[in-house]
Structure 1
């Protein structure tokens, strides 16, 4: 797939086809990382996008309780030398 470099204000950019954005689950406000690798520009989606919002929604719904009990437990008290 080919695209052209275009002027965007005082900078340059490229237009990414919506098909590619959908495949990577990216939108207009998605954060990506850019790097140069072997003479190519690599665009990578930032991992775990949306996790902060999901955590806030879990908290609001009361769904963010710990699954394990507090530590130390009996094993840690009896078996470990601290």
Structure 2
């Protein structure tokens, strides 16, 4: 698809057709990456997206326990020799 640059204030931009925006799932915030002399536009990734649901599901399934609890709670060699109470 060919398109033209349009003036936006002192900058220039490209209009992205609505069907492409919907197909790709772009929202208000996007990432623009320059790679190998090409511009890549993609949806901005939301860090930790869906974590709240994942943690909730883990708690429901009682899968939110430490798997190395003994190792974490046991005193280390440093605790035994260097730490003073």
TM normalised by structure 1 equals 0.57
Q: How many residues are aligned here?
A: 71
Give per-residue Cα distances to partners, 1:28-78, cap 9 Å, x unaligned.
x2x2111222221111221237x38x95xx6xxxx58845146874x4479
Larger radius of gyration: 2
Contact 2:26 2:42 in 1 (8 A): no
Structure in which a larger fraction of residues adopt helix: 2
Match among 18, 25, 38 for residue 36 of structure 2: 38
CA distance in 1, matches of 2:12, 2:4: 10
Measured on the aligned residues, the alpha-carbon RMSD in Å equals 3.5
Partner residue in 2 for 1:7: 7
TM normalised by structure 2 equals 0.55
| Unaligned stretches of 5+ residues in structure 1 | none
